[in-house]
Structure 1
Amino acid sequence: MGIPVFILAGLLVHFVFLASIFDIYFSSPLVHGMTPQQTPLPPPAKRLVLFVADGLRADSLFELNSNNTPQAPYLRAILENNGSWGISHTRVPTESRPGHVALIAGFYEDVSAVAKGWKENPVEFDSVFNESKYTWSWGSPDILPMFAKGATGDHVYTFCYTAESEDFGAQDATKLDTWVFDHVKSFFNSSRSNQTLFSALNEEKVVLFLHLLGIDTNGHAHRPYSKEYKENIRKVDEGVKEIVSMLESFYGNDGKTAYILTSDHGMTDWGSHGAGHPSETLTPLIAWGAGVNYPQKVTSQLFEDNFLKEWKLENLKRMDVNQADIAPLMASLIGVPFPLNSVGTLPLEYLNNSNHFKAESMFTNALQVLEQFKVTKHMVKKKNMSLKKIIAVPLSDSEQINFLKKARVYIQQQKYNEAVSLCKTLINLALEGLSYYHTYDRLFLGLSIALSFVGWTTYVILVIIKTHTNLIKATRNNNKHLLCCCPSICLSFFLLIQTSPWTYYVYCLLPVPIWYAVVRELRVIQDPAANLWSFPIGQSLGFLLICILGIELLVFSFFYRSTLTVGLLVFAGWPVITQLWIQAKRTTLIWTLLCVLLAVFPLMPVVGREPNIPLVVAAGLTTLLISCFSLASFSRSKNKYQSKEDLKVYFYQMFSIALSTYVVSSTHNSLKNKQGLPVFNQIISWTTLASSSALPLLSPTLLFQRLFSILLSLMATYLLLSTGYEALFPLVLSGLMLVWIQMEQEALQHYGLSLKPKVTAPDSYISLNYQKHLLFPLGVFFIVTAFFGTGNIASVNSFDPASVYCFLTVFSPFIMGGLLLLKVVIPFLLVSCAFEAVQVTTQLSSKSLFLIVLVISDIMALHFFFLVKDYGSWLDIGTRYSIFCLCCSPEKLWMLHPWRCSRPDWMIISHYVLVMSLTIFMMLMNGLAQLLTTKRLELSRRTKHHST
């Protein structure tokens, strides 16, 4: 197979591997075609008012101030005298979009839907708003439109402020909530002179939705324990009081309005959300008004947490729910059909109604969930009609009929408690069946992809043996196409009668050509196997053991970043092991020191730290100091700068570092004083970002001078994206990379290989061990260290907007996410440039490097393929098994996955995607590194030449 064909085949195979994870683990659970289910009895409320205080933590609302006064006096009085309260347990990811979908539609949105759009409605789903007669909503343009665009007909109306209003650097984000309250009042005042609107507002089944984003914005900008966050809660409390008073007056105190206040997610102490810490998953729920229970006095309550005592609410019954349970509660209160895709269970304790109404409502809930189960089961059976029998799961057709008949009889006999209990059992069984049928094809498809993984990795290893060693001689391939055609035809026929989607053909047929290619290279295996005893067994087994151990450690580092610390400390002793320290004591001493310094960073927190701008300033000043010494060193060296233009580029880069340092300090001081982002600082930041990729191309191509120029350009941008200790990371990492290059050159001299042309395959197994046994593990290890050293995808999830304040403060998820990803990529690019320099210096084969990295990344990806789960937080994507799993929400929260795992060990998609993308990303980074390290723009010189 030629190189172009091999690269094309590799890209196609890895694209299939990457795409398969979405079909296997992250297909949408939504089904359509269900019959709406509605409680037959008249509802207690004509209208519902839903307040969602975005980013409001449960403890922030319920806890008392230092003087024992409530943070929200009106809401505190409501839960003590007029309504019911509890904790709403959210599911990860604790983000605004999935949180609102769970609240209003009653189901937990899958990852693929979240990835398709933020402000749009990428998947069709039913909601309480859609089932209402009319819904009016006020608030953020990020949330409201998706429910309006997903509704049938024209009965969901939205009133949004502009996206520019969501400014983290604004003086007071409380204005977002004040805007909502003011516009609701104005809306109702104007309805008195608009008969059509007035009549619509007095209809039944009306929903009013107030989305209050100020608390979330202030939490991101100032942290949840700040006075701004607490003052915002007080403002919301006052606003809710005014709205309730206004509505009661408007409707003449008819007692037909139900109120619910809750939150989509909480927030960590450092102002982020997305993961599974209790501060993020525990949100408040207060309900009052028509159809809602009054406070229930109790003598004692048992909960795992100690919040009740802290909040002084131990004598008021706390009724916890899952976030998706709120949707059926709202539907029951105003008498609309339960959302078709809801997986919530109606919390009866919140209802103040007859036992008959509760039993009928729970029966309706069971019918609604059962409808989803029946439709899903029918779809799976239709797709698998060739199978004689589907593996039995609870809830056969006869069992469904028996459950429903028995529950109806209980209701007719007024045995309401028995009917409720039976309906809850039916709901749990239906949810378990939903999960089973949704994942029915997962094992079959997973085995197909795993077989392709093993085959492809085997083939690449054979290519390495064949093209980069002298272990075999050229052989003639026997093309036995029948070996490939027969399995393909059989599999295609099987998939055809299964009426499988076209992607299934790709996943299931892919192993056939891959293993066919492996079989064609059998001689590659046979020849070395025949001469196996001629190899040094001890060295071969030792090398194999080191490779396996190294790959497992790299996999382990994805879960525990501290593994990188251990690896760096081991590499710190490399000069001693290779005895290189004897010939280059100064270089090895610097290497050891930098390894130890770099080993500190993986021990530092990725998230949860307070901004430390003085550290960023110190990093900038240190970079300037090193630049001065480097400039002096370059001037004393044999290879001096050749023109004044070279010096101008270097000085301009130093000026950019100084300017970036000033901009970071100035911006954060301005925001601290609530003066907003200075326009000058914003212009400088974007200009620095735009110029950082071009400036290195104007510098000399001499190795160390070009690498240092790359560092300065990227460091200027990195400083602007830093908020603390991480600003020092690229500086230490680059220093280690430069020393690595120097040590490689000295090591080559030690082994007598400094001027040897490209190594293609040794007759000397030992002479190659230095180059490949150490260079490639070092390179891959440094790539992983660059990614996980201080920040990774978890940093994007944690979403501390302070990192992008120098560029923008107005909420823009894609721009902010892109800047945070750039922050992750910069250390990666620095390592890639160093790796390219080592490759050029040592004249190693770039193809062999690529193939070895390909094998390592595929073996790691196969690990993660079997660890992927379709639930979890974005934080767990980027770091490790969550340290928060011991204190996350109750086990019942995971009812959709009751038989998968006894505890929520979250390992989600991104580890797999990261490693799977490593090959493509390495190719891109390698190309960019080649451009940055070898190319040079000569525009100024050419202009000068022509003028003369």
Structure 2
Amino acid sequence: MNMQIFIVAGLLVHCVFLISIFDIYFTSPLVHGMTPQHTPLPPPAQRLVLFVADGLRADSLYEVDDDGTSNAHYLRHIILSKGSWGVSHTRVPTESRPGHVALIAGFYEDVSAVARGWKENPVEFDSIFNESKYTWSWGSPDILPMFAKGATGDHVYTHCYKAESEDFAAEDATVLDTWVFDHVKEFFNSARNNETLHSKLHEPKIVFFLHLLGIDTNGHAHRPHSREYKNNIRKVDEGIKEIVSMIEDFYGNDGNTAFILTSDHGMTDWGTHGASHPSETLTPLVTWGAGIKYPQRVTSQQFEDDFLKDWKLETLKRQDVSQADIAPLMASLIGVPFPLNSVGVLPLEYLNNTARFKAESIFTNAAQILEQYKVKMAQKKKSTLPFLFSPFKPLSDSEQIDILRKARAFIQHGKYEEAVSLCIKLINLALEGLSYYHTYDRFFLGVSVAMGFVGWTFYVILIIIKAHTGLTRNITIYKAAGSFFQYTFLAVGVLIAIFLLIQSLPWTYYIYCLLPVLLWYAVLKEYPVIQEVITFLLKFQRTQFVGFLLVFTLGIEILVCSFFYRSALSFGLITFSAWPLVTKPWTQVKVTALSWILSCLLLAVFPLMPIVGRQPNISLVTAAGLLTLLMALSYLVACLWKSKQKYLHHMDLKIYLFQLLNLAVATYVVNSTHRSLRSKQGLPVINQIISWTTLVSSLIMPLLSPTFLFLRLLSILLSLMSTYLLLSTGYEALFPLALALLMFVWINVEQEAVQHYGFLHKPKLAALSFSHTTDITQFRQLHVDDIRRSFFFVFFMVTAFFGTGNIASVNSFDPTSVYCFLTVFSPFLMGGLLLWKQIAIPFVLVSCAFEAVQVTTQLSSKRLFLIVLVISDIMALHFFFLVKDYGSWLDIGTSISHYVLVMSFTIFLMLLSGLAQLLTTKRLGLWEGTKHHSL
């Protein structure tokens, strides 16, 4: 097969495998067509005020100083004398959008929906705001619009400040919250003289939503234990006190207003959120006003965390909830229908009402979730053949009717506790049933994708054997047998298509089910090759073959293990360092062997370090810049001294001097920027211009340098290192340098191995050029040692990713590292810069080194790339089987993230291979005399 066609086919196949995981695990849980459910009794409150302090940790609000002083005096007073309190447990990802969706709509948004849209609804869903008579909201333009769009009628009003106001370098981020408080005050003051607005404000079932972003902004910029973060909590506390007083005065203290304060997510000590650390998932919940219980005294209470003593609240009953439970609580307080897609369970302990009201409310809650269950079941039943449909047995139609009838009878006879118990049982069964039907096709799709995966891997192995080894020279192809396979698989494909068509399944199902048929046809039609391979393996020395398989399997398992434990990479690197000690040819190249051992051990230190972002240390960034400058200068001087300008001309030297100057400027810009931000003077414009210019030029400057092996690699390192320094905040700035050092040694190592293939002479590395590699691709076929080289490449790529972080650190958002480029909140731009730093730059360094290895070993890059593809696909298949649909949400989400990461890695490798070839082989001639002739 033509290599270009193969790459396109490979990209398409891997895109299908990647997208399949979204159909299997990331489909939206939402269903439509339910009947709204609401409690028939009058609600305790006419209006609700919801305060969401974005990024507020539970411990930051509840903790007190040694002398008993709290950061939030007013809210502390509420907890002690007026309301109920507890902890709201959020789910991963702990980000603003999914957090607010859980709070206001009552369901946990799937990751694909979060990825498709940030400010608006990628999928339509119901919410408390939509069910209210009127909702007025103030705050961030990143949050408010998504609840206004899609709301029925014109009754959800938003008042947002400009996006530019969300500046992490602002002198005082509390202005975001004071803006909200000031505009709410202006709103109520204007309502006194506006009859229309005044009339609306006195309607029942209305909501006021105050989104307070200052705490989150200060947490990112200064960390949660900073003076700025704590001062912002005090400002919010004072603002809430003023707003509550003003609203109660406006309504004449009628006692019909309910108040809720909570947060969408918390924040780590190092100023990030997005992952599963308790500081991110434990958020405060304080409620008071109409319909809310007063404080309840207790003698003792037990929780998994040990915060109660630190908070000095052990004598007041703490009532924890899941974040989605707050939506039905708000609906119950003001008497609106529960959000149609809510999966929250009404926390009855917060309600100060009659036993009958509580029983009726939880009955409504159960009926609302049961409505979703019925619609979900009907949809699945409609799209499944009758004889194949398997219903959720614990909640049959008769069981639903029986539970509802008994619960209603209990309520009518005043047996409210029994009614509540039955309703909780129905809710749990309905939630289980929703999960059952939501994952109904999961096994079927999983088997199809796995079959396709295995077929693709075998197909690539057959291509390698057929085109790049000498095993298939004497194979005879029989056309009759090929026709038999063709018609057989065609018939199987038609039958599968008819089966899917009858059930009216989505078009993506056709791809997942028919792709394995196509791939296995491509494999089995090469049965003569398979037969020849089996014959060869039978002749192979069994002990040697088993040993090779064991080593290969161990290597794969270390790679898989590294996704869970970064220290596995250190173990692998330490093992690699011992390679020269057990390989005979190394005894005569002691300098190279020693360099290999030391560079492996140096790189092994990084996976043992804490993940990036926890302890900023600009001094280490400066040290990394100066060390890179020193090493690069030393190498250039050595090149000039030894080669006598044979490979490095005057014009080339100017390019390197410019890159060295750029590196020095980048080092200065990092220090200057962080010094300016610490003094609250903002991001200097000149620093921002230099940073963006350095980023844009980082992939262009190497194309101006000579294409000789180490000279081009040095130019790539200098360009990428300048950008990396601008995005660094601590020890991770040293990582590309350590990685590049090992890559340089690896190239030398592989060049030493060239002599084992029987070449008459071993070319000098200084004489090798990236631009003259096409003629050496015919020198030799694949060797067993090439599997080891390909494994090294995959291992180094995984090390490049996990060397300074993990899945959580990529998911967590720390804007500190992008302050040289921008300080105004922009999630996708900031996320793109983070990915460029943590993934793209290390990957490019390793990929370019691998291109050099292919030159030194005189082997076609296509052949080595195919082996790499097999190794990465085996890893991806491994993670496909490790994907979980049980356990905690974190376990499920992490396992899926691993699969998506490896699949993206496989696709990325195909694209990265082209980028690496461009960076290493091409040269822009901007002046005469830049062309060199290879030796």
Give, in angstroms, the shift of residue 501 of structure 1. 0.9
User: Taking structure 1 as reference, are residues 820 and 389 closer, same or farther at Cα in structure 2, changes over 3 Å only?
Assistant: closer
- Please identify, of 202-211 and 541-550, the stretch whose mean Cα deviation from structure 2 is larger: 541-550
Post-superposition Cα deviations, 1:235-292, rounded to whole Å, max 9, x if no partner, equal: 1100000000000111111111000000111111111111112111111111100111
Amino acid at match of 2:483: N
Percentage of pairs with the same residue: 70
Determine the C-alpha separation between the residues in 2 that align with 1:903 and 1:684: 40
TM-score (norm 1): 0.94
Aligned partner of 2:64 in structure 1 is: 64
3-state SS of paired residue (2:208): strand
When the two chains are superposed, the root-mean-square deviation of aligned CA atoms in Å is 1.9
Post-superposition Cα deviations, 1:26-62, rounded to whole Å, max 9, x if no partner, equal: 0000000000001111111110000000111111111
Determine the C-alpha separation between the residues in 1 that align with 2:388 and 2:442: 19
Question: Contact (CA 8 Å) 1:133, 1:155: kept in 2 or not?
Answer: yes
Determine the C-alpha separation between the residues in 1 that align with 2:851 and 2:139: 51
Q: What pairs up with 1:662-681 in 2 under 5 angstroms?
A: 662-681=668-687
- Please identify, of 535-544 and 900-909, the stretch whose mean Cα deviation from structure 2 is larger: 900-909
Give the one of 920, 929, 934 matched to 1:933. 920
Matched, 1:509 2:510: no
User: Taking structure 1 as reference, are residues 68 and 338 closer, same or farther at Cα in structure 2, changes over 3 Å only?
Assistant: same
Question: Contact (CA 8 Å) 2:570, 2:608: kept in 1 or not?
Answer: yes
TM-score (norm 2): 0.95
Determine the C-alpha separation between the residues in 2 that align with 1:902 and 1:150: 28
Give, in angstroms, the shift of residue 5 of structure 1. 3.7
Amino acid at match of 1:247: I
Determine the C-alpha separation between the residues in 1 that align with 2:538 and 2:916: 42
Determine the C-alpha separation between the residues in 1 that align with 2:369 and 2:517: 41
3-state SS of paired residue (1:740): helix
Aligned partner of 2:76 in structure 1 is: 76
Q: Gaps (5+ residues) in structure 1?
A: 871-896
User: Taking structure 1 as reference, are residues 660 and 862 closer, same or farther at Cα in structure 2, changes over 3 Å only?
Assistant: same
Determine the C-alpha separation between the residues in 2 that align with 1:901 and 1:271: 25
User: Taking structure 1 as reference, are residues 388 and 918 closer, same or farther at Cα in structure 2, changes over 3 Å only?
Assistant: closer
Give the one of 831, 835, 839 matched to 2:850. 835
3-state SS of paired residue (1:259): strand
Amino acid at match of 1:783: M
Give, in angstroms, the shift of residue 863 of structure 1. 1.2
Amino acid at match of 1:19: I
Determine the C-alpha separation between the residues in 2 that align with 1:788 and 1:305: 30
Aligned partner of 2:772 in structure 1 is: none
Q: Gaps (5+ residues) in structure 2?
A: 764-774
Give, in angstroms, the shift of residue 574 of structure 1. 1.8
Amino acid at match of 1:235: K
3-state SS of paired residue (2:84): strand
Give, in angstroms, the shift of residue 643 of structure 1. 3.7
Q: What pairs up with 1:143-154 in 2 under 5 angstroms?
A: 143-154=143-154
Question: Contact (CA 8 Å) 1:299, 1:315: kept in 2 or not?
Answer: yes
Give, in angstroms, the shift of residue 755 of structure 1. 5.4
Amino acid at match of 1:322: S
Matched, 1:577 2:582: yes
Aligned partner of 2:50 in structure 1 is: 50
Question: Contact (CA 8 Å) 1:634, 1:705: kept in 2 or not?
Answer: no
Give the one of 712, 722, 726 matched to 2:718. 712
Question: Contact (CA 8 Å) 1:470, 1:761: kept in 2 or not?
Answer: no
Count of aligned pairs between the two proteins: 912
Give the one of 472, 482, 491 matched to 1:486. 491
Question: Contact (CA 8 Å) 1:327, 1:342: kept in 2 or not?
Answer: yes
User: Taking structure 1 as reference, are residues 647 and 792 closer, same or farther at Cα in structure 2, changes over 3 Å only?
Assistant: farther
Determine the C-alpha separation between the residues in 1 that align with 2:895 and 2:82: 42
Give, in angstroms, the shift of residue 721 of structure 1. 0.4
- Please identify, of 356-365 and 28-37, the stretch whose mean Cα deviation from structure 2 is larger: 356-365
Amino acid at match of 1:625: L
Give the one of 721, 730, 733 matched to 2:739. 733
3-state SS of paired residue (1:34): coil
Amino acid at match of 1:856: I
Post-superposition Cα deviations, 1:393-429, rounded to whole Å, max 9, x if no partner, equal: 3110011111111111111101111111111111010
Determine the C-alpha separation between the residues in 1 that align with 2:747 and 2:681: 46
Determine the C-alpha separation between the residues in 1 that align with 2:727 and 2:867: 33
Matched, 1:297 2:320: no
User: Taking structure 1 as reference, are residues 84 and 600 closer, same or farther at Cα in structure 2, changes over 3 Å only?
Assistant: same
Q: What pairs up with 1:187-586 in 2 under 5 angstroms?
A: 187-472=187-472, 473-477=474-478, 478-480=482-484, 481-586=486-591
Question: Contact (CA 8 Å) 1:83, 1:295: kept in 2 or not?
Answer: yes
Give the one of 874, 882, 889 matched to 1:859. 874
Determine the C-alpha separation between the residues in 2 that align with 1:224 and 1:508: 50
Give the one of 779, 803, 817 matched to 1:803. 817
Amino acid at match of 1:566: F
Give, in angstroms, the shift of residue 324 of structure 1. 0.5
Amino acid at match of 2:878: H
Matched, 1:849 2:836: no
Aligned partner of 2:661 in structure 1 is: 655
Give the one of 639, 646, 650 matched to 1:644. 650
3-state SS of paired residue (2:135): strand
Amino acid at match of 1:528: V
Give the one of 619, 635, 641 matched to 2:640. 635
- Please identify, of 324-333 and 534-543, the stretch whose mean Cα deviation from structure 2 is larger: 534-543
Give, in angstroms, the shift of residue 848 of structure 1. 1.6
Aligned partner of 1:876 in structure 2 is: none
Q: What pairs up with 1:617-636 in 2 under 5 angstroms?
A: 617-636=622-641
Question: Contact (CA 8 Å) 2:791, 2:868: kept in 1 or not?
Answer: no
Give, in angstroms, the shift of residue 507 of structure 1. 0.7
Aligned partner of 2:615 in structure 1 is: 610
Post-superposition Cα deviations, 1:160-185, rounded to whole Å, max 9, x if no partner, equal: 11111111111111111111000000
User: Taking structure 1 as reference, are residues 181 and 752 closer, same or farther at Cα in structure 2, changes over 3 Å only?
Assistant: same
Amino acid at match of 1:601: F
Give, in angstroms, the shift of residue 792 of structure 1. 5.2
Give the one of 901, 918, 923 matched to 1:914. 901
Question: Contact (CA 8 Å) 1:641, 1:647: kept in 2 or not?
Answer: no
Question: Contact (CA 8 Å) 2:612, 2:804: kept in 1 or not?
Answer: no
3-state SS of paired residue (2:198): helix
Matched, 1:743 2:752: no
Amino acid at match of 1:240: I
User: Taking structure 1 as reference, are residues 392 and 139 closer, same or farther at Cα in structure 2, changes over 3 Å only?
Assistant: closer
3-state SS of paired residue (1:559): coil
Amino acid at match of 2:263: S
Aligned partner of 2:766 in structure 1 is: none
Give, in angstroms, the shift of residue 342 of structure 1. 0.3
Give the one of 695, 700, 710 matched to 1:694. 700
Question: Contact (CA 8 Å) 1:867, 1:907: kept in 2 or not?
Answer: no
Post-superposition Cα deviations, 1:95-149, rounded to whole Å, max 9, x if no partner, equal: 1111100000000000110010111111100000000000000001110000001
- Please identify, of 310-319 and 656-665, the stretch whose mean Cα deviation from structure 2 is larger: 310-319
3-state SS of paired residue (1:210): strand
Determine the C-alpha separation between the residues in 2 that align with 1:415 and 1:426: 17
Question: Contact (CA 8 Å) 2:7, 2:910: kept in 1 or not?
Answer: no
3-state SS of paired residue (1:197): helix
Question: Contact (CA 8 Å) 1:88, 1:285: kept in 2 or not?
Answer: yes
Aligned partner of 1:166 in structure 2 is: 166
Give, in angstroms, the shift of residue 869 of structure 1. 4.1
Amino acid at match of 2:863: S
Determine the C-alpha separation between the residues in 2 that align with 1:648 and 1:245: 69
3-state SS of paired residue (2:52): strand
Give, in angstroms, the shift of residue 608 of structure 1. 5.4
3-state SS of paired residue (2:142): coil
Amino acid at match of 1:274: G
Determine the C-alpha separation between the residues in 2 that align with 1:313 and 1:219: 25
Question: Contact (CA 8 Å) 2:790, 2:865: kept in 1 or not?
Answer: no
Q: What pairs up with 1:92-111 in 2 under 5 angstroms?
A: 92-111=92-111
Aligned partner of 1:780 in structure 2 is: 794
